[in-house]
């Protein structure tokens, strides 16, 4: 059984650019969530996808967008990058069904630096 | 608005000692309370989790105590080891919902 894998592991972008981060969910999981973790802080929820549809969103602007594919993998896209977007971006997958979530498995994250 | 408040921010414990981390929450709709361990450069890893229908759960050296009326829960790490040195996060969620994390506690276990 593979865990959650994220790519790339590190990325440096210039302010104003766009970035795409990728996530492969754990085998058997159908839900993917994305979190932003600034240095020294707890992860903050960006959004969640279930069966290819967004079903929850945190307090992030529309320039943060995502996709979930039929194989339950996911992408996080960030447009018009700002310096404050520098953070560790975490993907978490879970198995959801019948109104219950059975726990989340996190990937190791993508460290994004905006200069 | 921080829905999960965690304390202390950091703690130092001697090898063999007990580490205690406390969390408090506001939203009574939360029904899942996990604790995560995170090492530098890695994602959070689930340690142990509890649902509000039980008051305590133990897995190895890790115990969660849950007080539903006080809306508080805590993590006890017994017989702390240097390998336990990490940042610990409490979190809370509703079914289907996002995880709300605490701010984290950096634990250092001295030899």
Per-residue pLDDT tens digits for B4-17:
999 999 999 999 99
List beta partners, residue B78: none
Amino acid B91: pLDDT: 95
List beta partners, residue B12: B108
Amino acid A99: pLDDT: 53
* Cβ neighbours of B41 in A, within 8 Å: 108, 111
Amino acid A97: pLDDT: 61
Q: Are A101 and B93 in contact (CB under 8 A)?
A: yes
* C-beta atoms of A99 and B96 within 8 A: yes
Amino acid B3: pLDDT: 87
Share of chain A above pLDDT 90, in %: 75
Three-state DSSP string of B42-64:
CCCEEEEEECCCCCEEEECCEEE
Q: Which of B107, B93, B111 is nearest to B40 (CA)?
A: B107
The partner residue sitting opposite A100, judged by closest CB among B95, B98, B102, is: B95
Per-residue pLDDT tens digits for A33-80:
999 999 989 999 999 998 889 988 999 999 999 999 998 899 999 999
Cβ contacts of B68 within 8 Å, gap of 6 or more: B52, B55
* C-beta atoms of A99 and B95 within 8 A: yes
- The residue in chain A having the minimum alpha-carbon distance to the alpha carbon of residue B98 is A45
Instruction: State mean pLDDT over A10-27.
Output: 96
Per-residue pLDDT tens digits for B79-100:
999 999 999 999 998 876 788 9
Instruction: State mean pLDDT over A19-42.
Output: 93
Share of chain A above pLDDT 70, in %: 93
Flag whether pLDDT at A102 surpasses 70. no
pLDDT level of residue A12 (50, 70, 90 thresholds): very high
Q: Are B103 and B6 in contact (CB under 8 A)?
A: yes
Maximal C-alpha separation, chain A: 44
Asked which of A1-15, A89-103, B37-51 is least confident by mean pLDDT, the reply is: A89-103
What is the distance in angstroms between the Cα of A37 and the nearest Cα belonging to chain B?
10
């Amino acid at each position: 059984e593979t865990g959650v894998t994220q790519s790339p592991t590190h990325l440096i972008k210039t302010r104003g650019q766009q970035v795409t981060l990728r996530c492969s969910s754990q085998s058997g999981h159908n839900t993917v969530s994305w979190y932003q973790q600034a240095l020294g802080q707890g992860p903050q929820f960006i959004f969640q996808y279930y069966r290819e549809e967004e079903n929850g969103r945190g307090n992030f602007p529309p320039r943060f967008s995502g996709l979930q594919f039929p194989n339950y993998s996911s992408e996080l896209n960030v447009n018009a990058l700002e310096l404050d977007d520098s953070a560790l971006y975490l993907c978490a997958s879970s198995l959801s069904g019948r109104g219950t979530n059975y726990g989340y498995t996190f990937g190791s994250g993508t460290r994004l630096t905006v200069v | 608005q921080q829905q999960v408040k965690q304390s202390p921010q950091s703690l130092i414990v001697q090898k063999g000692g007990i580490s205690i981390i406390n969390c408090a929450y506001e939203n009574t709709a939360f029904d899942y309370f996990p604790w995560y361990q995170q090492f530098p450069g890695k994602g959070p890893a689930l340690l142990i989790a509890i649902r509000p229908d039980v008051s305590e759960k133990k897995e190895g050296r890790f115990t969660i105590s849950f007080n539903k009326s006080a809306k508080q829960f805590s993590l006890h790490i017994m017989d702390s080891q240097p390998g336990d040195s990490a940042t610990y996060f409490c979190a809370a969620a509703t079914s289907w919902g996002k995880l709300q994390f605490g701010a984290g506690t950096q634990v250092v276990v001295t030899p």
